[in-house]
Amino acid sequence: MNDCIFCKIAAGDIPAKLLYEDDNVVAFNDIQAQAPFHALVIPKQHIATINDLQPENADVLGQMYLAAKQIAQAAGYTEQGYRMVMNCEAGAGQSVFHIHLHVLAGREFSWPPG
């Protein structure tokens, strides 16, 4: 997608301090942090919403979660704990229509989430 900000970050067209990168996934800090540590993990392939996932996307989803674990560990949050969240569609809080996994840590989280 030519107008997708996350596609541009993944392609290196918009500079970002990457926390993680491999052939299929990148992670970077969220500019609208909701916790002391708030990163986003995205696939390099454009997939607009969870509703657009196909069986062939299963591997990249697994890679996203493994990357999230790695960046949480690198930031020192594996013992304290961290939360991972994916929103689907605007009504659930998705504001960029390129799937992304939020990785949040560094504060207490309540349940159910807001």
Instruction: Please list the active-site residues.
Output: 100
Amino acid (one-letter) located at 110:
S
3-state helix, strand, coil in the chain (%, to 5): 30, 20, 50
How far apart, in whole angstroms, are the C-alpha atoms of residue 1 and residue 20? 22
C-beta separation of 46 from 60 below 8 A: no
Number of neighbouring beta carbons within 10 Å of residue 76: 11
